Amino acid sequence: MGRYYRVWSPSSGTFRKALLVALVMAVFMAPIPDCDEVFNYWEPLHYLIHGTGLQTWEYASQYALRSYAYLLAHAPPLALPLVLNATIGLGSLADGRHYPSAPVADSAWAPVWTRSLPGDANVKLLQFFALRLVLVILAIYVFSALYYVLAQRLRFSHIPIFVLVFMALAPGLFLAVPAFVPSSTAMVALTAAYAAFLDRREALAVALVGVAGLVAWPFAAWAGVPIALHMMFLGPSPLPIVRRVVKFVGFALLAGTVLIGLLLAIDSSFYGSPVLAPLNIVMYNVLATAASGGGSELYGTEPWHYYIRNGIVNFNLAFVLGLLGPFLTVLPGWLSHYNLVCGPSPAFRSRLAAYLWSIWAWLGLMLAQPHKEERFLYPIYPALCVSAAVTLACGASLLDSVLAKCSGDGDAGSSADDDDGKAAFVTRASLTSTLVWMILALFALLAVSRSVVMVVGYGAPLEVYTHLANTEFDPAFRAALPVNASVAVCVGKEWYRFPSHFFFPDARFALHFIDGGFGGLLPQAYAPLLGTLPSTTVPTWSI
């Protein structure tokens, strides 16, 4: 028999602290890679809270592709700077004057803490970063829940510490975690779902997949298919298949009914007619065609290898390792066969295999779509890190076994029973460990370099508009303006780099477009709320 020993793994607290150090920087430094995040999420949220903002056609009532319920779920973190301002004060951030707010300040439906806001640029700027910070902290908490399950069940392997390295340094997560987009929300919800699934909390797992697919992004439900198949057919269970199917369907119906009811109630009240936004976006992107005025192909197409190239850029070596991980699960006695663990049961290995195969389930769906975007892979980013860790650990153990057989030592674990065996064991362990840490070091070097390049090369918009908010639109400048003044901030062909009206002081400041050669539909200003819900009329689009 081989010798099994416990391998040191960082505690969940250490994992959280490490990710906090690595990812909190993303709150302030990670660029916004897609204007869709600004104009479809930050701007409508600004409109709901402050009464001004830009609207895209996707919020027009005849399309109703976007959910106001999703926006409202992100509103509470915006209270944090206001609470600080009201309790301890923000000192020089306030100039003591109150500027005209849009009618949202007095609307009956607006949250109490958003009424009569002080017109201070820095408070709104802090709201922007406060939401980003909350998104990062929530993601770290969810990742640590997944890590805890892995560390408990795989405590005889290096997998947990490899997961920490990949998650802390991956450029893909550096971008995805602070992003205010449905695919990022789906990533967090799906990770929480699989953490619950691995911990045998199936009802919670199904509910969280429902959150990913209904509240965040309807296509994300596909990444939860391995959970459904495992619960109903593939996983070891004493229950007959019929009872397993009934159990899963019951969980799904309960979660779906509650979530759909909430979405219908909120979105229908905002759009003025019965609306289920997740259904609309599926119908538009899947059932509609370009000839009928719909379909995702209208916004560009990419070849099948787009996601392969993108994955290598955002995860370098970890992406290749992550793609290989699911295929290890078909090997007899995977994990235990390579002397990695002695603790995980076949049931846990079966659940972990389902999680790893969600990578290829998602890739298969995304590769089949003509329209491809980087953020569409966000939902499987954490799974890629786990899969890469599994592949690296299995590969290291396999290499150790091969070296043991080549040197005539037989069982790699039993060779430490005599002096010669101990020397051979130490030599093999040293060689394997050196190779593994060289791989991790190369990954870290490439990953950090990529993150630095993204910040240096694409961080200018956040820097420029932050400077504009804090310096050009400082309290002295605003105090010199008439209370009812109107300040137009004009942009041309760089319109898509605008980070949102959260970088403007108050309702007197607004973004305006000048002709920059763009021939598409630019966002238009929302109609005033006037104490009611958002306008259900279609804006007049212009360029």
Q: What are 105-121's pLDDT values in tens digits? A: 334 444 433 433 444 44
What are the pLDDT digits (tens) for 427-466? Answer: 777 888 899 999 999 999 999 999 999 999 999 999 999 9
Q: Decide: 499 and 493 in contact? Cβ < 8 Å.
A: no
Question: If DSSP codes are grouped into helix, strand and coil, which group holds residue 342?
Answer: coil
In angstroms, the CA 306 to CA 371 distance is 10
Angle at the Cα of 301 (from 458 to 54), degrees rounded to 5?
A: 55
Residues in a beta bridge with 509 = 487
Residue 150: which of 158, 160, 142 has the closest Cα? 160
Task: Write down the pLDDT at residue 293.
Answer: 58
In the numeric block, the tokens 């674990």 are attached to 413
Q: What one-character-per-residue DSSP string does 362-394 give?
A: HHHHHHT-SS--GGGGGGGHHHHHHHHHHHHHH
Q: What one-character-per-residue DSSP string does 488-514 give?
A: EEEESTTGGG---GGGS-STTEEEEE-
Task: Write down the pLDDT at residue 91.
Answer: 46
Helix (H) or strand (E) holding 525: strand 524-525
The one-letter code for the residue type at 144 is: S
Question: If DSSP codes are grouped into helix, strand and coil, which group holds residue 54?
Answer: strand
In angstroms, the CA 424 to CA 407 distance is 8
Q: How far is CA 80 from CA 76, 132, 145, 507, in A?
A: 8, 12, 25, 21
Higher pLDDT, 218 or 478: 218
- 370's tokens: 């003509």
What are the pLDDT digits (tens) for 34-70? Answer: 999 999 999 999 999 999 999 999 999 889 999 999 9
In angstroms, the CA 171 to CA 381 distance is 10
Task: Write down the pLDDT at residue 534.
Answer: 56
Q: Decide: 276 and 264 in contact? Cβ < 8 Å.
A: yes
Q: Given its phi and psi angles, is residue 447 left (phi above 0), alpha (psi -120 to 50 degrees) or beta?
A: alpha
Residue 215: which of 182, 255, 254 has the closest Cα? 182
Q: 219 CB contacts (<8 Å, ≥6 apart)?
A: 213, 282, 365
Kindly state the greatest CA–CA separation across the chain.
88
Give the lowest-confidence range in 1-5, 352-356, 453-457, 475-479: 1-5
Average pLDDT, the chain: 86
Task: Write down the pLDDT at residue 340.
Answer: 47
The one-letter code for the residue type at 72 is: L
What are the pLDDT digits (tens) for 158-201? Answer: 999 999 999 999 999 999 999 999 999 999 999 999 999 999 99
- 59's tokens: 């919020």
Q: Given its phi and psi angles, is residue 171 left (phi above 0), alpha (psi -120 to 50 degrees) or beta?
A: alpha
Question: If DSSP codes are grouped into helix, strand and coil, which group holds residue 16?
Answer: helix
The one-letter code for the residue type at 153 is: R
Give the CA count within 13 Å in the CB-facing half-sphere of 373. 17
Task: Write down the pLDDT at residue 411.
Answer: 53
Task: Write down the pLDDT at residue 174.
Answer: 98
What are the pLDDT digits (tens) for 310-329? Answer: 999 999 999 999 999 999 99
SS (HEC) of 34-45: CHHHHHHHHHHH
Backbone angles phi and psi of 524, in degrees to 5: -120, 155
Task: Write down the pLDDT at residue 116.
Answer: 37
Residues in a beta bridge with 326 = none
- 229's tokens: 């198949």
pTM of the model: 0.90
Helix extents (H) in 8-120:
12-29, 35-37, 43-50, 68-73, 79-87
| Maximum mean pLDDT: which of 150-159, 351-360, 404-413 | 351-360
In angstroms, the CA 226 to CA 248 distance is 12
Q: Decide: 359 and 383 in contact? Cβ < 8 Å.
A: yes
* pLDDT > 70 fraction of the chain, expressed in percent and rounded: 82
Task: Write down the pLDDT at residue 95.
Answer: 43
Q: How far is CA 491 from CA 44, 256, 496, 514, 522, in A?
A: 19, 43, 9, 6, 12
- 5's tokens: 């020993």
Task: Write down the pLDDT at residue 331.
Answer: 83
Q: Decide: 409 and 415 in contact? Cβ < 8 Å.
A: yes
In angstroms, the CA 27 to CA 144 distance is 19
Task: Write down the pLDDT at residue 233.
Answer: 93
In angstroms, the CA 245 to CA 232 distance is 5
